[in-house]
Chain A
Amino acid sequence: MLLSILASIALFIIDSRSDYFFPFHSVLSTIVYPIQASASMPNDIASWMKGYFRDRKQLQEKNAVLEITNLLNHVRIQKMKALERENVSLRELLGSSFYLHERVLVAELLAIDLDPFSQQVIIDKGRRSGVFAGQPVLDATGVMGQVIEVTPFASRVILLVDPSHGIPVQLNRTGLRAVATGKGLAGILQLKHLPHNADVQKGDLLVTSGLGGLFPAGYPVGRIASIYLPQGEAFAEIIVNPAAKMDLSSEVLLVFPALRQQKTVKSYNLFR
């Protein structure tokens, strides 16, 4: 009994002081991965059945809708290319750099519940696909989080809404920089340490600022949902709704920053 108490406390201390124990933790995660994968199986089967038994008319309708969105997106990308070129030349004039050609990799979430009090998910791509710890994770609408642990076949992603996660952001309208941290269960973010007179309005878009070097600049993080100025407090309480659909996305994008060339499997260019 005493032995197991000592062993658990030792494990706990070493693991929370992190890095020393990293290999052991990832070995354990690899061992338990089959259990996690099989727990996600009922959900996979259900979605496969749903796809298999869909009738022809529905598929045709969906196809038509998708073709239109595809066309629209193509038009937008054309405009985007022109803007990008303009942006690069402007930045060259200013003498600052702009990172282009980030590569992405598509991964799927495992449909399983983890500890309900920490906001993490497991994705089905790991070291074999070139995923690395600290890699930014996006979905179709915004930034979702970052990879915190990599095993050969899967990796663990911490979401923006986890209370222990912070992301450097910038107000798109004014360029004001701040850090957005998670609030846990509620699925919202907050901006800490902004003074009462900061130029922030409800509905302002927040994008990644690229400071800190982890997240690429310019991806949407969320919109300001409410601003509360408590009397007698030094800082405003600003709540942000995340742009990414944290509980709805089943597919995510892993971004490979342009400077870091990794061996990539089935990855392709965002802006050809």
Chain B
Amino acid sequence: MTNTESAHGMGVIIITIVFAMLLMMLPISDQFRPFRPEFVLMVLIYWVMALPCRVGVGSAWIVGVLMDALMGVTLGISALSYALVIFFTARFYLQLRQYPTWQQALIISMLVLVVHIVAMVMSSQTRHLYFWLPVLSSMMIWPINYALLRNIRRYFHVK
């Protein structure tokens, strides 16, 4: 693998993460807003599962800080929760790869739950029941996300 190839692979990873950020900000109607899945986290989890040597806790932390700035919350909340979740994913990526997709989806929902618990502990506001809806919607979206990203990875030969 030459140097240019690896740079190209990194570009694909960054583009998918930026696209996930756009999906997090895209205006949708108020009824559906609480259901918005954690796109950025799912993309990060996929890349860690597939290429644990390329994407790790450090990059998850950087993405988390950027997400905090994007969303306008106190810096450090997403950074900590993303780093934590990616740490666990990176530790158990071999098991995760073996599971069927629906079982992965269950584990993803647990990981999203971890992110939301961290966010709840760190931000002092009282939270509505709506706050937990992304846990469900992320679980539903995971199989699509997984298939899509796998095709992208194979198409662009990201290694």
Interface string of B20-41 (1 = CB under 8 A from A): 0110111110100110100000
Is B102 close to A, CB under 8 A? no
Q: Which of B2-10, B45-53, B122-130, B136-144 contacts A (4 or more CB under 8 A)?
A: B122-130
Which chain A positions have C-beta within 8 A of B127?
A: 117
Are B34 and A116 closer than 8 Å at their CB atoms?
yes
- Asked whether any CB of chain A lies closer than 8 Å to the CB of B80, the reply is yes
Within 8 A of A (CB), among B32-74: 33-34, 36, 57-58, 60-61, 64-66, 69-74
- Tally chain A residues at the interface, Cβ within 8 Å: 41
Inter-chain CA distance A1–B125, complex, in Å, is: 27
The binding surface of chain A is classed by DSSP as: helix
Rounded to whole Å, the gap between the CB of A197 and the closest CB of chain B is: 30
Residues in A with CB closer than 8 Å to B24 are 113
Bound-complex Cα distance A35 to B77 (A): 20
The CB with the most chain A CB atoms within 10 A, among B83, B126, B127, is that of B83
How far, in angstroms, from A122 to B127 measured CA to CA in the complex?
23
Q: Contact check, A117 vs B128: say whether CB atoms are below 8 A apart.
A: yes
User: Within the complex, which residue of B34, B72, B79 is in contact with A4, where a contact is CB–CB below 8 Å?
Assistant: B79
A71 at the interface (CB under 8 A from B): no
Contact of B76 among A12, A38, A185 (CB under 8 A): A12
Closest-CB distance, A43 to chain B (whole angstroms)? 6
Report how many residues on chain B are interfacial, defined by Cβ distance under 8 Å: 41
**A111 contacts which of B27, B87, B122 (Cβ < 8 Å)?**
B27
Contacts known (A5-B83, A9-B80, A28-B75); A117 close to B61, Cβ less than 8 A: no
Using CB atoms, name the residue of chain B closest to A156: B72
Say yes or no: is A114 at the interface (Cβ < 8 Å to chain B).
yes
Q: Are A1 and B83 within 8 A (Cβ)?
A: yes
Distance in Å from the Cβ of B17 to the closest Cβ of chain A?
10
| A230→B28 CA distance, assembly (Å) | 38
A43 to B24, CA, bound (A): 15
Closest to B64 in A: A8
User: Which B residues fall within an 8 A CB radius of A?
Assistant: 18, 21-22, 24-28, 30, 33-34, 36, 57-58, 60-61, 64-66, 69-77, 79-80, 83-84, 87, 122-123, 125-128, 130-131
